[in-house]
Structure 1
């Protein structure tokens, strides 16, 4: 690879890092062609871009980026694949699901909306992170809950009061 080609790859990686808020680094070394193809399909279905990168080029792209990747450059050893996703927990879910049938991919680290996770032991925590859409749904549900309770109380209270008034009016007669 010539210097020009390397600098072009670094530029492209830097642009992708700048555009992405959710970045996962994984080790998929040792997967055979069929298994790798299944992993790529699973990533595509989940809206994840998967690419194998050279560690040195990715490290230089991280340096050139305006984001603070903290300890992530330290995990750039051996085979590294990078996953870009719009949803924070989608790659973690794909990795966890895929590991039911295979030992790999191993999570090296992740950058989720400026939070940094290092190590495969963080996978369960990353799976449990709620996506933006899930959080909005939870908030809407919480906001609707008190209104529903008030409306149902008014409806049931109204029938109780009407029942009491009717009973009282019948007694007086």
Structure 2
């Protein structure tokens, strides 16, 4: 690859890293063409951008972004594909779903190498379950709204039921 081409790739990667707040480093080396195509389709459906990169070019792009991405250096070995997403847990759920049908003893790909999610680093595949359980911003907002609505619903329910109880009691007393 020519030096000019490398510069273009680095600048594109830098812009992509700046655009997406979350990204996962994965290994998809052992996937055949059919499974890779299926993975790309699933990524597209879930608004996850999948890019296969050279480790050195990604290192330089991360240096250009600014900030300290040094914990990810450990994972930048071998074959690397980056999954970019606006939603923190979307790539983790996709990886878990995609590897669900694997047989025991079989290597599961894509395999999580590291992740940068919500300004935190997760190194190693053992963090996949943690990443799956991270709630997105919209899910957290929905939880807060549900918690805020709950007391109001209880009060309204109590008023309605006590109103019917009082009405029923008065009707019973009237009949006697």
Asked if TM exceeds 0.5, the reply is: yes
SS at match of 1:125: helix
Q: Is the 8 A contact 1:22 1:113 kept in 2?
A: yes
How many residue pairs end up in the alignment? 171
1:13 aligns with 2:13: yes
Inter-partner Cα distance in structure 2 for 1:130 and 1:70? 25
Aligned-pair CA distance for 1:101: 3.1
Aligned-pair CA distance for 1:58: 0.3
SS at match of 2:122: strand
- How large is the Cα RMSD of the aligned pairs? 1.5
Give the structure-1-normalised TM-score. Answer: 0.92
2:155 — aligned with what? Answer: 150
Q: Once the two structures are superposed, what CA deviation does each residue of 1:69-89 show, in whole Å capped at 9, x if it has no partner? A: 241122100000001111111
Give the structure-2-normalised TM-score. Answer: 0.90
SS at match of 1:71: helix
- Structure 1 residues 154 and 70: alpha-carbon distance in aligned structure 2, compared to 1, 3 A threshold: farther
1:104 — aligned with what? Answer: 109
Q: Is the 8 A contact 1:62 1:73 kept in 2?
A: no
Inter-partner Cα distance in structure 1 for 2:96 and 2:3? 38
Aligned-pair CA distance for 1:144: 1.1
1:140 — aligned with what? Answer: 145
Inter-partner Cα distance in structure 1 for 2:169 and 2:140? 43
1:159 — aligned with what? Answer: 164
SS at match of 1:18: helix
Inter-partner Cα distance in structure 1 for 2:67 and 2:16? 12
Q: Is the 8 A contact 1:22 1:111 kept in 2?
A: yes
- Which runs of 5 or more residues in structure 2 are unaligned? 103-107
- Which runs of 5 or more residues in structure 1 are unaligned? none
